Amino acid sequence: MLKNGFKAVAIIILALLLHKAAFAAEVIELPPEELAQESVLPVFDKPVSVKNRNVVTDKRIEADIFYGYAMTEPIANVSKLGLGIYYNTSESSAWGLLLAKNFAGLSSYAEQLDEQFNLKFDRAPSPELTAMLDYNLKAFYGKMSLSKSLVINTILFGSASAGVVKYVHKTYPAVAVGLGQKFYFTKNWSLRFDLRLYANQAPVPFLAGSLKPNEPVPDYSDFEERVTFTTNLDVGLSYLF
């Protein structure tokens, strides 16, 4: 019993000492002259290799294959596949042609409306093809070092496009602006991401009195038209020749 009492007293005394030490640590202040007063930039063994471009695009052709996803399309199929070819007029500019083929069918939301309300949106005209002339302004070139031997080269660019969007019955002029990023994992191959906002005249797929099975099938010209905005994300693979 007495032995346990001594142990309890010893533990309490040790706890008080530790508490005092911890409290003392909180109020320690270092003299200002012992604190760091200046900063230095990192020094590289080979500064020239850091500054030089690993990927040179000037006067070179680049070909793309990409998958496009229409993020704000409510009715038509949101997927498409495309090809692109660009000529880099300099390290800051590139001109290209884009051609994308839309998948057939409807979006999952349109199929859900069909199941719940028996609405046949396949009666409405849908986009088939997009062809655009695209200009890229390459704003920033950078490097990401993932290890001592693996460096990813990046290019951030803005884009402006003009062309057409073809529906099953009519072709409409279209324009687009966007922002893109390329990640070169070799000096030729890169992953390319493009986020674009399209604006074009397009038929409105909602037409009262014509979308249910027991209603007369409308003509494509019966659908009203209006300016439509669509946000599109393209993800693709590029090769620099």
Q: What is the rounded CA–CA span in Å between residue 237 and residue 83?
A: 10
What class does CATH assign to 56-240? mainly beta
Per-residue pLDDT for 4 more than 80? no
Closest C-alpha to 98, from 178, 168, 170, 154: 178
Q: Are 170 and 125 in contact (CB under 8 A)?
A: yes
* Residues 47-57: tens digit of each pLDDT: 665 567 788 88
CA-nearest of 176, 186, 121, 182 to 151 is 186
| pLDDT of amino acid 150 | 79
- pTM check: above 0.75: no
Residue ranges of domains in the chain = 56-240
Predicted local confidence at residue 107, as pLDDT: 87
Roughly how many angstroms between the first and final C-alpha of the chain, as a whole number? 88
Predicted confidence (pLDDT) per residue in 160-215, tens digit: 999 999 998 899 999 999 999 999 988 889 999 999 999 999 988 888 888 888 88
Cα 113 from Cα 75, distance rounded (Å): 10
